[in-house]
Amino acid sequence: MNLEKGSRPERFLEDLPDALRQPVSDFYKMPLAPKRELIGLINDYADEIERVANRRGDLDINLADCIARCCLTLVNEQWDGEGDHRKRLIQAACYYYVERDDEDSDLQSVYGFDDDADLLNVILEHLDRPDLAIQI
């Protein structure tokens, strides 16, 4: 499913559920953030999730942790040396993960991280990283 030369960079949006297309498209179009900024956002949000999970036992902390570790792996292992399109895919996954009020509110719903994992799995497919796919 990797993009071939000459194909539309936003083709990956077609593989997303309808509810994810617009927010992900917006994140994809944002200027590229520095690598350390993405790492900081992911780590800060993971810390916040842990604090909330201590008060609420119904958050899927394991799924949230898998998503955070996957995003960090992509940023740490693939960011340097990647072209703009692939960096934008990674950035979109990271920004969607740290967006609290996405399709299902991360910190309010027991299913709050399912949409984050769905998006990440589509992006992983486009990045040829099925080894990082998250089981929901």
Rg of the Cα atoms in the chain: 14
Q: Find out whether 127 and 74 touch, Cβ atoms under 8 Å.
A: yes
DSSP label of 60 = -
Q: Which residue has the higher pLDDT, 25 or 4?
A: 25
Given a cut of 60, whether residue 8 has pLDDT beyond it is no
The answer to whether residue 96 sits within a structural domain is: yes
Domain count, the chain: 1
Q: Find out whether 100 and 23 touch, Cβ atoms under 8 Å.
A: no
pLDDT of residue 49: 94
Mean pLDDT, all residues of the chain? 87
The answer to whether residue 106 sits within a structural domain is: yes
Q: Find out whether 107 and 49 touch, Cβ atoms under 8 Å.
A: yes
pLDDT of residue 22: 86
Range of the domain at 46: 32-132
pLDDT of residue 2: 42
The answer to whether residue 62 sits within a structural domain is: yes
pLDDT of residue 3: 40
The answer to whether residue 124 sits within a structural domain is: yes
The answer to whether residue 56 sits within a structural domain is: yes
State pTM to two decimals. 0.87
Given a cut of 80, whether residue 103 has pLDDT beyond it is no
pLDDT of residue 111: 82
Given a cut of 90, whether residue 16 has pLDDT beyond it is no
State the Cα–Cα distance between residues 117 and 114, nearest whole angstrom: 5
Sign of CA dihedral 43, 102, 104, 109: positive
pLDDT in tens, 55-95: 888 889 999 999 999 999 999 999 998 999 999 999 999 99
